Structure 1
């Protein structure tokens, strides 16, 4: 299902929105987190899929691979940790807590009585638990009935206390808020609600660091290298962080934004239909666990409503097929380790590119350069293997083999013209006698 957004704008970035999220803060978030030992140094890779692009009749497909961002395996490591870092600095304004010292645990004594809590489908809670452990504060994570034991274990491994509730993600959000109010704890959530926007803003601002890294080599005056950016939905936080950066940087020259959701967790599609933050129309439960959200974040919607051009839904089956396509290196491209939510962008692209009418509506064509963000790797390894038929190590081994063979091929290709030039130069210096046959 494709929902065009009639309220999407093409113009300068809204000044009021810029006061909330902006490029300067995205860069500052990136700088602060660079001190954390759980973040891998350097940029995450951007994979090119030229063979798949040809199959789908688009010019280029680029995949930003967030599975390598951290041992935690997802982009969420950019959100909860920076929000917690800024929260602590606001909470103790008289202290000279530097990001480097906080992330190294040098103020754990000061923070031992500080408790943070959040609901999660897995990745956000894992990132918050890891950050809390590094900084030395206590962490409580609320999990709903559909979060697997496999996703619970890594959260508990970072020392978080687990609270289980019946129901879905939205029920766990309500329980986290109740426990926080009852115990004087601090909610660190990626979704906003009335009176609670500062921390979700910081979470979303952290996600914008992905684009800051991605566009770093580009000159400020250069045109946007992408015509289309397909982003995962959920409550809207990732999409809002990414959209805000592109919009501020390129203004009217921004790319077309498409947001994808599970069919049964379509709160953003329903928001686009109604023109306001809305609830999902389905059961919410989805194999795309990170996107199984039933209610739009009002703060995120302030950025999405004026900027996202289209909202689209995909089925669980389509997401799994996209996972398999990435894992196998469909059509001869590099294999990519992408989890259930991570592959949703490719699932959406296949739906759109496969329909002449949807291609026309979204402007996809032979010159389109599509950016996808693979937001997670195999964060639930057993589920990943069951869904794709591949283990995470086997995909990474295939990726390494593909890269090695490509490097060898590139060296051969580089050498071939040199060999031809050398032979030509040698022939050019021969005299008739030297070149004559002795037979």
Structure 2
């Protein structure tokens, strides 16, 4: 399914949005993140995939590979630590804490009884648990029934207390809020709701680091024409899409690229938001192999940014995502192999679905001259699931990637 967004604007970045999220704050977040030892040094790779581009009949295809951002394996490593830093600075204003000392764990004695909690499908909880351990505070993670044991173990490895519920992701969000209120803990979530916007804003601002790296790697200046005609962004509650589109919108202004948001057909909350003109809920089961995108409720704060910046909202099937995982693994295409998890491949999956349908391509403005950017938001964060879906271990794909780069 596809819907063109009649509310999308091509103008300067609005002042009312800049007051909430800005390049200036994204750069501050990026500076802080550079001091966290759980992130690999330097920007993640921006790769060209010319053979896959040719097979899709577009001019260029670039992939920003967040799978190698950190040992955490996903872009979520950018959001949770920034939100936790800013939360702690706000909580203890009288202490005049230094952000870099906080990241280095120098306030662990102060924070030993400070507890944060979050619901997660896996990646956000893992990043929050890692940041909490680095900074010296306590972390509780609520998991819903469909989160695999493999993902639970990966979170628990960072010292978080794990609580399981029988429901879905949205019910785990409700349970985290209930537990926080009952125990005087603080929810650190990437989705907003009434009265809860500061922390989701900080999470989204952390994701702006991805866009900052891309414009530096593409060597473009503010206000210039975008090197990409189209940018495909994963949906979920909308946080990643808002964090990246807002940065690009401020940077490129009216010359911004077209943004296309992709989400599972059974977790279509952003698609429904575009239909209804307000932050809305999904109409499907929400269950999806794309675990990181299996969200039923749009973040109202994220929607404030997406409503006027995203040109197209679309949905894909689980099979589309798995096909894209295979394509990025590179065995068939001959391009550089890339390890992309189920959600990480969604952007490419959306592009492939559109290029397979001439009418949909035309609606999205895609043609043989298009220069497309997709973001691989995660690697094999559940290695056994990756091997089952791709038919090859992620270690094997990485070995082929190493050999390809050494040619």
- 1:290 lines up with 2:297 in the alignment: no
User: 2-side partners of 1:237 and 1:33: how far apart?
Assistant: 18
What secondary structure does 2:323 align onto?
A: helix
In the TM superposition, 1:280-429 aligns within 5 A as: 280-405=282-407
Contact 1:52–1:330 at 8 Å: present in 2 too?
Answer: no
The structure with the larger Rg is 1
Deviations 1:109-159 (A, max 9, x none): 000010000000000000000000000000000000000000000110100
The correspondence for 1:240, drawn from 239, 242, 248, is 242
Q: Alpha-carbon deviation of 1:99?
A: 2.2
User: 1-side partners of 2:107 and 2:333: how far apart?
Assistant: 51
The correspondence for 2:259, drawn from 254, 257, 268, is 257
In the TM superposition, 1:147-226 aligns within 5 A as: 147-216=147-216, 217-226=219-228
Regions of 4+ moved over 6 Å: none
Partner of 1:108: 108
Gaps of 5+ in 2: none
Partner of 1:415: none
User: 1-side partners of 2:134 and 2:165: how far apart?
Assistant: 27
TM-score by length of 1: 0.91
User: 2-side partners of 1:338 and 1:168: how far apart?
Assistant: 24
Contact 2:115–2:185 at 8 Å: present in 1 too?
Answer: yes
What secondary structure does 1:271 align onto?
A: helix
Q: Alpha-carbon deviation of 1:218?
A: 2.0
User: 1-side partners of 2:49 and 2:280: how far apart?
Assistant: 35
Contact 2:188–2:199 at 8 Å: present in 1 too?
Answer: yes
Q: Alpha-carbon deviation of 1:329?
A: 4.3
Contact 1:329–1:336 at 8 Å: present in 2 too?
Answer: no
Count residues in correspondence. Answer: 405
- 1:128 lines up with 2:128 in the alignment: yes
User: 2-side partners of 1:266 and 1:285: how far apart?
Assistant: 11
Give RMSD over aligned pairs. 0.8
